[in-house]
């Protein structure tokens, strides 16, 4: 007989398309890494590691791995656009507030003029 494991995962996954961002930081992988990890810490999240890649003098793709999940960012400075992905989960409490805080902090940093945001509740919130 096989036992079934029931997940109690609770998480909020916020996906954003950011348009007309301030281009100042969109092609600076070191600054994006520093800011993303600091914003995660400021939101009360636990940073486990990160990886950021600079595409020549163009955009950046990066991710910060969290004990509570991740943040991923992809920039296109030539069009001042950013794809942003924030997923924060926890099996013992609702961390939606931390997901919103992190997402909004990145918006404050990048200053987009237009944001298309989608939020997906994952698991049992």
How far are the Cα atoms of 5, 42, 45, 60 from residue 31, in angstroms, in the given order? 42, 16, 19, 11
> Exactly one of 29, 74, 80, 100 is catalytic; which is it?
74
Band (pLDDT 50/70/90 cuts) for residue 93 is confident
Q: Which domains does the chain have, with CATH numbers?
A: 24-119 (3.60.90.10)
Instruction: Determine whether 96 is an active site residue.
Output: no
Q: What is the pLDDT of residue 104?
A: 98
Q: Quick check: 100 pLDDT over 70? A: yes
Residue 31: is its pLDDT beyond 90?
A: yes
Closest CA to 74 of 8, 15, 118: 15
> What is the spatial distance between Cα 114 and Cα 91, in angstroms, rounded to a whole number?
33
* Pairing state between β 60-66 and 47-54: antiparallel
pLDDT band at 8 (very low <50, low <70, confident <90, very high): low
7 carries an active-site annotation: no
The question of whether 92 is a catalytic residue gets the answer no
The single residue of 69, 70, 96, 105 carrying the catalytic annotation is: 69
Q: Which of 21, 40, 89, 96 is catalytic?
A: 89
- Measured CA to CA, the distance from residue 43 to residue 8 in angstroms comes to 23
- pLDDT of 81-92, one tens digit each? 999 999 999 877
């Amino acid at each position: 007989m096989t036992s079934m494991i029931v997940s109690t995962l609770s998480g909020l996954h916020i996906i954003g398309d950011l348009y007309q961002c301030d281009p100042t930081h969109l092609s600076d992988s070191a600054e994006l890494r520093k800011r993303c990890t600091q914003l995660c810490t400021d939101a009360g999240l636990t940073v486990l590691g990160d990886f950021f890649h600079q595409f020549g003098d163009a955009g950046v793709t990066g991710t910060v791995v969290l004990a509570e999940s991740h943040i991923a960012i992809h920039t296109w400075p030539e069009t001042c656009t950013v794809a942003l992905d924030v997923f924060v989960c926890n099996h013992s409490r609702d961390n939606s507030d931390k997901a919103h805080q992190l997402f909004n902090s990145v918006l404050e940093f990048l200053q987009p003029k237009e944001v298309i945001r989608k939020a997906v509740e994952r698991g049992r919130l």
